[in-house]
Each structure stands twice: as C-alpha cells, then as structure tokens.
Amino acid sequence: MPSPDLPPTRAQTTARVILAATLMGVGLWTLWEFIPALAWAGIIAIGIWPMYRLAEQHCPPSKHNLLLPSAFTLLVAVVFIGPLVLAAVRVVREWHTIVDWLEAAQQTGLPAPDWLAHLPWGADQAVAWWNENLSDKESAAELLRRIDRAQLMVTGRQIGAGLIHRAILFGFSLLTLFFLFKDGDSLIVQMRHASERAFGPSGERVGQQVIASVHGTVNGLVLVGVAEGVLMGIAYAFAGVPHPALFGAITAVAAMIPFGAPLVFGVAALLLVVQGAGMAAIVVLAIGGVVTFVADHFVRPVLIGGATKLPFLWVLFGILGGVATWGLLGLFLGPAVMAALIMLWREWTGGEGE
C-alpha cells in the first residue's frame, strides 16, 4: 500500500481530472434549467452588495444572520414584483373595456373615431377601411369571426405557462439571493482560494474585473435607464401623453437596452400626433433625443467604461452580443465577458492600449 504522503501518480492525477470533469458536467446538466436563476441571483447580489455592506455596518448580523438577508431579499422582490402587479391590475381593469368594445362592435358596429381623419398621412385610406370593415355591425361581426379564437386560446395558454415558468425561476433566484447575502463572506473567501489554486494570481484579477464590470453595467444600464424613465415620464405628463407613468416605466426598461428608448418616446410622440398635438409631439421627441444623447454618449461611457477601463465600443458590442445570445441576462454577462477578455489581452500583450 502506498504511503499517503507520497505525491499522486500520473494515473491518479488523470483519474482525478476525469472524475472532476465528469462530476462538473453532470452537475451542469442537472442544474441547466436553473442556471439563469442562479446567474440573475449572482448579478443582483453583486449589484447591491455595497449597499448590503453599508447596512451591515449599521446593523451587525446576529448569531443566525437571518434578518438582514431576509430584508434585502424582500426588498428585491418588491422592486421586481411591484411593477408587474400594478401592470396586471391595469390589464384586468382594461379587459372589461375591451370586452365591451368587442360586444358593441358585433351589435351596432363602430363609427370611425375623429382622430383617424387627422392622421398626418394615409387618413383617407384609414377612414375608408374603417367604414368598410367596422362601421356597420355586419362587417364588424364578419371581421371578428375571422379571428381564430382557438389559436388565441392556445397562445394564451402558452403565455400563461411561460409566465408561470419564469415566476418559478424568479422564486429560485430570490431563494439563492437570500443565501448569497447570508453566506456571502465565506463564499468570497472560497472563490478567492479556488481561483488562486486554479489560475494563480490572474484568476483573482479576472474575478475582480468581472465584478467591476457588473457594478458598472448595473449603474450604467439600470440606474441611468431609471433616470431616463423618470425624466421622460415628467415630459410625457406635461405633453399630455396618455398614461404618462406607464410610458415612463416602459421607457425606463427600454432605455436599459441600447437604442430602445427612442422606440418608446417615438410611439408616445405618434400618439400625440394622432390626438392633434403636433407641437407637443415635437417637444417629446426633442427632450427624448437630448436625454438619450447625454445618457448614451456621456453618462454611460463614464459609468461602465470607467469602472472596467473598457472602451465603450467593446461595452456596446458586449451588450448587444449578450442580448442576442442570452436575452436580458446578456445585458450584464456580455460586458463582463468583454471586460475579462480585454484584461487578459492587455496582460498578454503587456500594454494598456485599447
């Protein structure tokens, strides 16, 4: 029997590597459906970790360390679920209006609204189509009968199943987030030891670069997007856009994606044009253009690129490529990957050039 103090043989080392790779592959395969939930939990934890640390200084953890992690997890849940609940309540309220509108269309038809004749282009064609298809009850009933209601039911079930699936994943994200807050300190120590053993000193530097990228991306995308939504929501309210708070919230979400905000305030301006408020539409477009230009060309490059020393061109490629590959999760993973690659490239070439 070989002594336990002797170094492992080459066969033993190879067997250990194969065993570790096999277990890692099986583990990833087992957790594949939950990887997005784990990734979201990690991104959220990294993004608000400084705030959590500050709270720990004023409220030191107790023996079991449950109060503060529970409070922060609940706060995240309220921030994410609150707007969805408000949107669902609005949809339920508007649903009765839609049902009444459909019943009126089938029984008496629907006259062309006044704003249809004031469209900047295609007004005559739009009015003619409306009169032909919706003004009398026979035409309206015939048009509504063409709708494949069975397909609508199938689509509704698919949407409902998708929402339930995402709600379950979000629940696992919150559960993971709680334990990341609770055991974050020990996890950080373990990750540092693991990266140092696996990759040497460069492993910890890559990890720090990824964390800095996530921090910068959260500040540059989420916080700046929220600020854009607030400013545009105020502009919508003064300009007379219908449901300005809802449009402001949609603008905030769209502003997190490059070139997303102009689509929303463009729709808002179009609604104002339809209502006959052309000057207000021009004001909304002008304010939206200025806010977007300042955010995309001055604020975000400083917050994202400054935190990671990453040229904004690579930040942009990381965001767009990440969204195309991983969806919304790619908003944060894409820049993090680009930041790590650029750092390794600079170390390899021995320079700080872009």
pTM over 0.75: no
Q: Which of 32-41, 122-131, 319-328, 333-342 has the lowest mean pLDDT?
A: 122-131
Q: Determine the pLDDT at residue 351.
A: 57
| pLDDT at res. 149 | 57
Buried b (16+ CB within 10 A) or exposed e, 125-158: eebeebeeebbeeebbeeeeeeeeeeeeeeeeee
State the helix-helix crossing angle for 35-58 and 67-107, rounded to 10 degrees: 130
Q: Which two tokens stand for residue 332?
A: 């944060």
pLDDT, average across residues 213-223: 81
CB atoms within 10 A of CB 196: 14
Alpha-carbon distance of 344 to 9, in angstroms, equals 33
What percentage of the chain exceeds 90 in pLDDT?
13
pLDDT, tens digit, for every residue of 270-316?
888 877 787 888 999 999 999 998 888 788 777 776 666 777 778 77
Q: What does the pLDDT read at residue 354? A: 47
Higher pLDDT, 85 or 273: 273
Mean pLDDT of the chain: 80
CB atoms within 10 A of CB 176: 20
- Kindly tell me if the per-residue pLDDT of 148 is higher than 60: no
Query: How confident is the model over 222-273, as pLDDT tens digits?
Result: 888 889 999 999 999 999 888 888 888 889 888 887 778 899 999 998 888 8
Lowest average pLDDT, out of 144-153, 161-170, 204-213, goes to 144-153
**Mean pLDDT in residue range 194-210:** 77
Residue 240 CB contacts under 8 Å (≥ 6 apart), including other chains: 272, 275, 277, 280
- Confidence check: pLDDT of 95 > 70: no
Q: Above pLDDT 70, what percent of the chain?
A: 79
More confident residue, 89 or 293: 293
Residue 191 and residue 207 in contact, taking contact as beta carbons nearer than 8 Å: yes
259: left (phi over 0), alpha (psi -120 to 50) or beta: left
Sequence-distant (6+) residues with CB within 8 A of 272 are 239, 240, 241, 278, 280, 281, 284
Nearest to 245 by CA among 117, 76, 136, 87: 87
Average pLDDT of the segment spanning 79-99 = 70
Per-residue pLDDT, 324: 83
